[in-house]
Chain A
Amino acid sequence: MNGAHDLGGLHGLGPIDAEADEPVFHAEWERRCFAITLASGFLGQWNIDMSRFARERMHPALYLRTSYYEHWLHGLQTLLVEQGMLTEKEIAARMAELAAEQET
């Protein structure tokens, strides 16, 4: 698909910010996102190409303003919902629960 992931030749994004000694994960949630994605992959409900396609289907405006592991998380949610393993409602309910925990 002609999505935002196919960036080649796009102007205006600025220079590539190459970090010296770049860490594998920049935040703890990224490590967790990576692990959950791989663990979910072993459920055998999709393949690696389906998971790439799930990330590519993000709305282009959202895709371009979010980070690499946000793409992973978004793609994973799409797959889990499409495969009937979770519903949008369940995800929203759990997020509300976690947000409430953080406030207390």
Chain B
Amino acid sequence: MKALKAEKVEDALRRSRGARVDADVPAKFEAGERVLTRNIHPIGHTRLPRYARARLGTIARDYGVFIFPDSHAMAEGKNAQHLYSVHFTARELWGRQASARDGIYLDLWDDYLDPA
């Protein structure tokens, strides 16, 4: 088993990889498109919060191709796919009592989204 030696720590931390994947995976959506998040409740890891499931949002930006954490966390491989910044109005998430001006952006992967 590999172990990290003290003199290698700085180098290892500097070279530690991000989650971006250099692969030619087609995007399902583009900026400006309306999407509906999936109503999923996986027993494994997911980065789609409960309050944002089955909600309408708008693709704000396509970040490119990234490791899909839901698969990666279960040791099922990278399942690389596009990651987007998705805008949701506060009223879509929290109802009519929420401010009409507020909203949030969530970083969401293709597998969380359907066309609206």
Please report the total number of B residues contacting A with Cβ < 8 Å: 25
Interface residue B26 (Cβ < 8 Å from any Cβ of A): no
The A/B interface has a contact count, at CB < 8 Å, of: 53
A57 and B52 CA atoms in complex are apart in Å by 21
Say whether chain B's binding surface is mostly helix, strand, loop, or mixed. loop
The answer on a CB contact under 8 Å between A47 and B45 is no
| Chain A interface residues (CB < 8 Å from chain B) | 1-2, 6, 8-9, 38-39, 42-50, 52-53, 56
Cross-chain pairs A/B with CB under 8 angstroms, 20 sampled: A8-B50, A8-B51, A9-B94, A39-B4, A42-B3, A43-B1, A43-B2, A43-B3, A47-B72, A49-B45, A49-B67, A49-B69, A49-B72, A49-B73, A50-B45, A50-B74, A52-B45, A52-B73, A53-B74, A56-B45
